[in-house]
A and B are shown apart, each in its own frame.
Chain A
């Protein structure tokens, strides 16, 4: 009997110890929440990072709005958003913001006989289509840009996102930048009051509706268009040059941007100058507290981001994301050293 009690006590102690070590392992996981657009690459980085360091990432891709709410409520270590917070909001909440990875948005169409990259559009024409001013594919404005393409006299069916999304934010930002009409009538946001068209949920919803509807036009993330072999169009950029949506064109837009011009690197990459720049390039941002309550957790998160900046470029390219230029990464890491500190003002991040 005594023997039994002893062995039972040992078993309980062991169970307790294993629970403790389990909770310790869980505490070491980095927790974050936010944008859905960068989720695939964050997951891939996290997987590789865990193999190397044993530290995992618990990222809930609940949308940018949810990510901002959660970091403000301090339930996560970092938030992620496709739309940057403004300077005063960052100062008011004590959050530091930096860009993590980039992508591109491409217009996709469904026109019989038109292959990917055959059609070219410019900003004002795209804005007029989404405003409902251009309603047929053989409109003069489209003909002028595409003298060699045989355009049908077919009604244009506009497809847009029905859910609030960073993709819509970047897309409408571009349209607002190139068209004063768009800016005054519709505006720029993650969801807007669309003058025409049907709404579809998510990139996949837009893609499905475009591929099912003759004469349709929509916009999706580049990675999505590429992997699903959708008919994308080329665009005329700010310098008046025709560009194809490629990783090089997205990088060119990031390279010509002036990242220090906005607080928290909150530069929207739409309509950047440069002969090679794709006009609908977008970045996605990370939010952490400058003076976090849990300094150790934030340090772990910064280590993960530094590792991703340093070693994640190939993985990003594999998934058709665009890594941040080295100059931007250097500036972000300097900002960490200066701004993100513990209670005693000591920097949390001190290089890899």
Chain B
């Protein structure tokens, strides 16, 4: 009797052991597969970085640090400098962020605090749809609709308005081409708006209701609650959203190429044509036949890679900080 029961137990033990072994095996496979996927991303990123460095080596070793400080971009004499595209990239992105941040925060405040419930979803979805429009559409719209409008109405008005005022008159100097640095900044502002809005809205939702209610309870206005409670509480998260938008603005290619004027010059006027790093690469890569020319374009790509990497790393870091705070 005992022998029989022992036999039964041992066979049950064996089955259990086999099951455990099987589980351990599938678990190992699963763990390895996920780890490999994660490593693949790192390998790809490293591969991109290494090939950018290798590709730009010729240009960087020839021009050295002066590549970053030279304005001239001359394919005829093969003398290349990245200053004009870097300037254009940073100026257009900065203006785009300056315009998009107040509007984006405004939309987020309206949607989380003030909007009547039935309107909340339609407006939220409309903002997110903006993010789904392909950039080439923004480019075409910018060139055919927005630029002529700016050229015939807005720019002549601003030029005559600031005429004779030192500083402002050279910042908004003509002739009104319609396309230029300011036009691409405005297009970029529209393009990054949904990123900033949706992240800001999400972090606004993390503000504990009790905080806001107490503020209202002691007689604060909506403006005061937003200004003194919501924004300070979510400051880091908003910064993260802004950085993500900035990352997008820095790398945007097609829409900018259409409306920036593609001129390798640094001009004080925001109405003047300029260029950005990605627009230059998109324009010139196909017909760049000299080794040094191609290498200089890759070096531009490397610079953009580094700038974007820094911006996105900052954004991640800031979002992490707000995550850990809300988690605690």
Contacts and interface: CB of A to CB of B under 8 A. Distances in A.
Contacts of B201: none
A164 interface: yes
Given A65-B286, A201-B262, A212-B148, A188 B76 contact: yes
A199 B175 contact: no
Contacts of A62: 286
A198 B143 contact: no
B3 to A, nearest CB: 50
Given A193-B264, A201-B262, A209 B179 contact: yes
A63 B283 CA distance: 11
Main secondary structure of the interface of A (DSSP, over half): loop
B63 to A, nearest CB: 15
A272 B6 CA distance: 107
B273 interface: yes
A87 interface: no
B135 interface: no
Contacts of A209: 179
A80 B261 CA distance: 29
Given A198-B177, A201-B283, A213-B177, A186 B76 contact: yes
B interface bracket (residues with beta carbon within 8 Å of A): 20 to 34
B77 interface: yes
Nearest to B272: A198
A135 to B, nearest CB: 10
Contacts of B73: 193
Given A64-B287, A164-B283, A208-B143, A199 B74 contact: no
B178 A165 contact: no
B261 A198 contact: yes
Contacts of A165: 287
Interface string A52-71: 00000000001111101100
A157 B283 contact: no
Nearest to B78: A189
Contacts of A213: 151, 177-178
Contact of B287 (A155, A164, A193, A200): A164
Given A65-B289, A213-B177, 17 more contacts: A65-B287, A155-B175, A157-B177, A163-B286, A164-B284, A165-B287, A186-B76, A187-B74, A191-B287, A193-B73, A198-B177, A198-B263, A199-B273, A201-B257, A205-B258, A212-B151, A213-B151
